[in-house]
Amino acid sequence: MLTRRGFLTTASLALASTAVALDSNVSSDWAAVRKEFELDPNLLHLSLFYMTPHPRVVRNAIESYRRQLDANPFLTVEHGLFDFEHIEKTMPAVAASAIATYIGAAPGDVALTHNTTTGLSIAYHGLPLKAGDEILTTAHDHYVHHESIRLAAERAGATWRKVRLFDSESTISADDIVSRIRKAITPKTKVVGVTWVHSSTGLKLPIRKIADALAQLDQRVTLVVDGVHGIGVEDPNIAASGADIFVAGTHKWLFAPRGTGFVWAKPEVWATMRPLIPTFFSGELWGAWATEKPVEGTPRAMWFTPGGFQAFEHWWAVPAAIEMHRRIGSARITDRIHTLNEQFKSELAKMPHVTLYTPRTRDLSSGIVCFDVKGKTPFQVVEILQQRDRILASTTPYANPYARIAFGIYNNEGEVERAVRAVRALA
């Protein structure tokens, strides 16, 4: 029979087994990293930031928890979720702790979500907005970010505006970006919402500089960051980035299970926020309901983790992905991704039939490269690359679409050269 102690022991062993199962060569051999993924060898995969496959260690962790759930769903969920006397040992707390360690934060400041969309909704709807308040965002953010702002502003009677961060991709500068945001702030501005790495152009914003500029204001402005295309690529020390609230799905560059994500916020920010969805992970809230007493205590991250029954084996396997990144090394991952994409951008810049939109410097770019080919639409470029060259690229889902390619740690220099030849042949 699966007791609480038995479950926790089994769960811990499952996590340990994923670490042992990870090829020891991943810390030094990129070919070993590639073997962690069951990618179709007949295709060149340059769009995995869209929806990453599960690496072997994550597949193993998911399968381990799935078997436990199938063998004994009641005790697995009962003891994995609802041990309020030992809340730090429950599986959501274990997953939040793994994320917190990765981003340099305290475990109690991380809420689990299912994706960036859910996280942004939780963040903006949780803010104590009121009539007359204003949210400032940019003209370059994704539909999901803008919609989260619009819906929250409408419900609160607040307003929102967009500011352009550059006039053309060729004139982008960090100082200009910061200056434009600073000049757009009014006395009504309570929140600034930005995206760390833009999936529209590949631009990486200087979050630290933006945060420092906001800190110099006479008014308090909360900085909300959509970080889904930066997490797993750039320095993961999010707690030191200057953001007040950071939202990201983990099923892209981080290789965590599909349908997982998180929201991190400073504890003093969580304390001002209002939960949107009932949670299963707070003894205080459950106790207040059971005793029909008012809720006491200060809101904190776990109050914002959505409750309900769901694909628990996916949430619980997040630590396996974090362990994989730890074993490879975050700094090594950052350098690898930048090096491959810089090699590609350097060659594109030499082609007269190509317009490169992504900045070439590391301080303003990350792992996404966006470009146009003269005489062809972005959709035609992607179609030709797929049909003729067996290369999987994508287009940017924005009003002005571009062709988009991204090299990750599962790619190599030879694949960069193959993509360069294919784009050159589009002339």
Q: Is 63 exposed, middle or buried (0-12, 13-18, 19+ CB in 10 A)?
A: middle
The whole-angstrom separation of Cα 120 and Cα 151 is 11
Neighbours of 306 (CB within 10 A): 18
Strands 394-395 and 391-392: unpaired
Neighbours of 108 (CB within 10 A): 16
Point out which residues pair with 405 in neighbouring strands: 369
Provide the pLDDT for residue 245.
Answer: 98
Provide the pLDDT for residue 22.
Answer: 60
The residue among 116, 126, 113 whose CA lies nearest residue 310 is 113
276: helix, strand or coil:
coil
Give me the sheet containing 403-405, strands edge to edge: 354-356, 369-373, 403-405, 394-395
Provide the pLDDT for residue 87.
Answer: 78
Which residue carries 């419900």 as its tokens?
A: 155
- Cα end-to-end distance, the chain, whole Å: 67
Query: Which of the 8 DSSP states describes residue 134?
Result: E
Which residue carries 């793994």 as its tokens?
A: 98
Q: Which two tokens stand for residue 425?
A: 């042949």
CATH of 330-424, one of 3.20.20.140, 3.90.1150.10, 1.20.120.1730, 1.10.20.10: 3.90.1150.10
Distance of CA 99 to the CA centre of its chain: 11
| Ordered per-residue pLDDT tens for the chain, 427 residues | 445 555 554 554 454 444 445 666 676 699 999 999 999 999 999 999 998 899 999 999 999 999 999 999 998 898 888 877 777 888 999 999 999 999 999 999 999 999 999 999 999 999 999 999 999 999 999 999 999 999 999 999 999 999 999 999 889 999 999 999 999 999 999 999 999 999 999 999 999 999 999 999 999 999 999 999 999 999 999 999 999 999 999 999 999 999 999 999 999 999 999 999 999 888 889 889 999 999 988 999 999 999 999 999 999 999 999 999 999 999 999 999 999 999 999 999 999 999 999 999 999 999 999 999 999 999 999 999 999 999 999 999 999 999 999 999 999 999 999 999 999 999 9
Neighbours of 374 (CB within 10 A): 11
The whole-angstrom separation of Cα 194 and Cα 369 is 19
The residue among 251, 247, 169, 167 whose CA lies nearest residue 207 is 247
- Report domain extents, the chain: 91-325, 330-424
The whole-angstrom separation of Cα 137 and Cα 127 is 15
The residue among 103, 98, 21, 6 whose CA lies nearest residue 58 is 21
pTM above 0.85, yes or no: yes
Per-residue b or e along 36-48, where b marks 16 or more CB atoms closer than 10 Å to that residue's CB: bbeeeeeebbbbb
Q: Is 17 exposed, middle or buried (0-12, 13-18, 19+ CB in 10 A)?
A: middle
The residue among 109, 62, 36 whose CA lies nearest residue 319 is 62
Point out which residues pair with 248 in neighbouring strands: 262
Provide the pLDDT for residue 80.
Answer: 87
Provide the pLDDT for residue 13.
Answer: 44
The residue among 62, 60, 88, 86 whose CA lies nearest residue 3 is 86
CATH architecture of the domain formed by 91-325: 3-Layer(aba) Sandwich (3.40)
Provide the pLDDT for residue 10.
Answer: 54
Per DSSP, the residues of 26-65 read GGT-HHHHHTTS---TTSEE--TTTSPPPPHHHHHHHHHH
The residue among 100, 402, 34 whose CA lies nearest residue 262 is 100
Neighbours of 35 (CB within 10 A): 16
How much is the CA Rg of the chain, to the nearest whole Å? Answer: 22
